[in-house]
Structures are given as structure tokens and as C-alpha cells.
Structure 1
Amino acid sequence: MELECYPMSQRPPDLVPGRQSRDWMDAFASRHPYRCLPLNMANTTGWEILCPFGFSAEWNGGPAQSDIVVTPDRPEPDVKHFVTSHFTRGVLTMHPQYLFRTPPGWSMTCQGSPNHIKDGIQALVGVVETDWLPFPFTMNWIFTRPGKIRFDKGEPFCFITIAQHKKAEEAQPVIRSLGSNPTMQGQYEAWLKQRSDFNSRLASGDPEAAKEAWQRFYFKGELPDQLGKAPASHTNKRRMKMPRIG
């Protein structure tokens, strides 16, 4: 399977596999957030498109295009081809500068990099039918209040993932009692018992619990001992491919 990426300029922004690290996650004691496997997987399940230069953008709260002022860190002749106020009303528009093509039935989600926090501005999310669309899309951010924000050179401004969007329509949510699935109920209750016991030992200062620090069932793809093994399909590290020249 190929994700076709057609550059729309001579020097398109860099496109790289999603990176795991986040500044706010690094700032925690012992980097605790990295113990949360769902966070790590979200951060890396897709590709980042990176800012080709650093810039600041300031919105005065007004509705016009001119109410957002973009200032690159140094003179950039193509600044308006990359970042501008196109949709007005505090929306900042950035151009990935690629035309993407996915296989039939596959779409692309265009969003901010997962768990990458920016104060004062919020990434908007779009789902694009890249299996037929013959023109590129834009990445849009909306100011959450008047003020100034900035993007650094090499900072992700867009994160893309792909999915079989038609398949999503086939999913039928069904609400059932946990008791209707005895196997799952038994697994949950065994996990809950071990979890409660571990937390109690940790709170009481038990040295073995303190040494263990956290339970790793999900991270390691394991179930409590009495429940056997988890499926071999479990993964705890995403390895997206780097773009190649085709």
C-alpha cells in the first residue's frame, strides 16, 4: 500500500513520521506521561508536516483578514504561500503544499499533532477524501482569544493519518451489560482487584510496589496471570515509514 505525496512547490515542508516526545510530557517527574501507552501511540500514528520557518501571528479579535498579522522570524519571500489569514474571524490558514492520494476507500484526517499543546490557538480537524480529490487541502488553526502565538521552525503544524472511512459507517454501536460477556467481566474484575491491591500497597509505602512504580499490563500487552496471554497483535511502539522518492 502506498500513500502518494505530490509536492506542490519546489521546497515543500518536511514530512516525517510522528514523533513521540512532547515538552509537557518531558517536564513531569520521571517523565510519567510516557507510561501511558495510548498517548504514545496517538503521538506516533501518522505523519507530521513541519514548519519551514519560524513565525509569530497576532490577532486583535477583529473579523477581517487584516486583523491577523503574521511576522516571520526573518524575511521570507514566500510567507503568504505558507501561512495567511484566509478564512477571517481569527482563523489562521497554513498550506501543507502536498497533494495526497490514498487507495480507494481510504481518506485522510488533517489535524494538529496529537497531544501537542499550544496556548491561545486550537487546531481544526478535517477529513478529506484523498482517494479522488485532485487538489490539496489547507490546515487551519483558530485563535481562542486575541493575542500572539508562534510556531518554531521544525514544529509540526499539521498531522495526517489515514483510515478506511467507508468502513466506519458499517460499525453499529451496541450497548450491552458487562454481565452479558462473562469472559470480559472476569478479566475486568481480575484486573480491578490487582489494580486496587497495587494502589493500596503503593499508598502504604510498600517497597516492592514503590520499586515497581506502575503496573504494565497494557503497555506490555499482558493480562493478569490467571487470565492467560493477551493477543499477539498487541503493539507498544508505532513505526511509521519515512517518505521515499518514487
Structure 2
Amino acid sequence: MSSSAEPPSASLDLIAYQLNRSPSLRLVAAPVQRDFMEATPMRFALRCLPMLLANQAGWFLLNQHPVMVVWNGGDQLEDLTVSSPPGVMRPATSHFGHGILTWDVPYLFRTPPGYNLCVRGPTNWPRDGASALEGIVETDWSLATFTMNWKITRAGVPIFFHPREPICQILPMRRGELEQFKPVLRPIESEPETHKGYRAWSESRAHFLRDLPHPESEAAARRPWQRHYFQGTTPSGAHAPGEHQTRLVLREFELDDSGGSPHEH
């Protein structure tokens, strides 16, 4: 089970070339915490391992200054009003129209050969009135920067982006890997062992949910939730093959002013 607090020893370089000395967006490894998950009864959302791993899959770009936007529903640049406190340079602008709010990303990213950068909104970070737009950039060669964009979806209502709020999440992905997959549909009965295992899990789950509301039941007395997937086991006790991950440990960006790129050596 891979839950070490240390990143793996093998590494690939992800370089963020700073375009100025005081970047307007700070880069940090995406944390596991999400306020809405913490606020669920008994913090039950924290039992969802797929969400926890997705939360940590990448790096955040954090907004540094308060931003308020109001969209009147129109398509022109001036139909989106962007405001910041006096004396603060606006970190975001109306650049494309159509109610789209744009952040200039103050870095030129460089990934290893053959790797793209997926640029998206923060994972599992719902917000009212704005939806993040997503893109994939070939950052192993491009000399152009990219922008992070949010589509305002609620007209006539002030939308706030706060300091230290993530407005972007970046995630390297190998170019062409997705296209190598060959999707296949099969009846589950064609794989007897898989079918048997699925039925065992399904019956175990149904039994657990049926008994859980009854305080005198074994399900309620022993544990409030089944932990098979979290622990990397099946209901029969078999362990997941290979490395079962319960957390991701990403390195933080560190300043390197020595000059030169590891990819150039």
C-alpha cells in the first residue's frame, strides 16, 4: 500500500519559468482538504478515496488579490465588470467577452518531451456562478504562455474570487497515451472470476446497507462504513495487486536560479 509521506525517488522535471520576480499566482501542491467535504456529517466525504486522490492530483495556482466580477449577460468585453481594491493591479480581466474572466498565467511551463499539461479548475472545488474552462497544452515545446479562464454563469450577481483561492490546477499527462487505449464492451459473465467477485461485493454491500439503520446489527456495531476499497482489499480479503495508493505526495515547486534546463543536458 503506497501511503508514504515521501515522494517516489524517480523524478521528472516540471519547470515553471517565472516571467517576473513577483508572480501574481502562487504555485502549490494541491492539498487533500476541501471545505465542503469536511462539512459533511461525520465528515463522511473523506471516506471517498477516489475523490481524495483526485483532490491531490496536480498543483494549484492561487489567486493573490480579491477579485469581484459582475456579468450583465452580454457578449461584449465591457459586459463583464472586474473590480479589485484600490491600488491593486487587477489580476484578471475581460479579454474574450461572452462573460469569460481571464487570468494571465505568469509562468512559461516546460514538461519533459512527450508530456502535455492539463490546465483545469481546482478538482472537487464547487463554486456558484462560475465554471472553470479546461485545456490541454503541449508544454514540452511551446514558447507561448496560456491563460486560465472561467465562464461566469450567473448574470447580475457579484461573483468573488478570494486571496489564496485556487483558480487553476495543472496536471502533466503523457501525449498520445489516451489514444493507445482500445475500448471494449463485454458481458461480465464472460469473465467468471470477475463476475464472481463483483457478485460477492454487491451482495456484501446490499447486506451492509440493509443492516446499517439498525443499531443492534453487526454493521452498525462494528463500523459505520465498509473499508474494502480504501484498504485495497476485496470482501473476500484478497489484496489489490501492485501499489494501492491512499494518498499522493507531490513535491512543491522550489526556486532554482542556477540557469539552464535539465531537459537541455
Q: Answer whether TM exceeds 0.5 for this pair.
A: yes
Name the residue aligned to 2:26. Answer: 14
Matches of 1:188 and 1:37 in 2, distance apart?
19
Give CA-to-partner distance per residue, 1:148-175, whole Å, 9 cap, x none: 1111100000000111121111111011
- The whole-number CA distance in structure 2 between the counterparts of 1:110 and 1:2 is 17
For structure 1, the residue ranges without an aligned partner over 5 or more in a row are none
Aligned ranges 1:1-246 → 2 under 5 Å: 1-12=12-23, 13-76=25-88, 78-79=89-90, 82-146=91-155, 147-211=157-221, 212-225=223-236, 228-246=238-256
| SS of corresponding position for 2:97 | coil
Q: Tell me, what secondary structure is at the counterpart of 2:158? A: strand
Residue-pair matches, total: 242
Q: Which amino acid aligns with 2:32?
A: Q
String of CA shifts for 1:46-70, please: whole Å, max 9, x gaps: 0000001111111111211111111
SS of the counterpart of 1:203? coil
Letter in 2 for 1:131: D
Letter in 1 for 2:79: D
Asked if the contact 2:78–2:94 (Cα under 8 Å) also holds between the matched residues in 1, the reply is: yes
Whole-angstrom distance in 2 between the partners of 1:73 and 1:39: 35
Shift of 1:103: 1.0
User: 1:85 and 1:185 mapped to 2: Cα distance?
Assistant: 53
Q: Residue 45 of structure 1: CA displacement?
A: 0.5
Runs (4 or more) in structure 1 with deviation over 2 Å come to 203-208
Looking at structure 2, the residues matched to 97 and 161 of structure 1 have their Cα atoms a distance apart, in angstroms, of 17
After TM superposition, give the deviation of residue 207 of structure 1 in Å.
Answer: 4.7
Deviations along 1:98-141, whole A, 9 cap, x unmatched? Answer: 11011111111111101101101100000111111111100000
Which ranges in structure 2 are unaligned for 5 or more consecutive residues? 1-11, 257-265
Aligned 8 A contact 1:51 1:154 in 2: yes
Aligned 8 A contact 1:56 1:73 in 2: no
Distance of 2:254 and 2:164 partners within structure 1:
19
The amino acid across from 2:101 in the alignment is: L
Identity of aligned residues (%): 37
Q: TM-score, normalised by structure 2?
A: 0.88
Which residue type is aligned with residue 61 of structure 1?
G
Please tell me the residue identity of whatever aligns with 1:51: N
TM-score, L = length of structure 1:
0.94
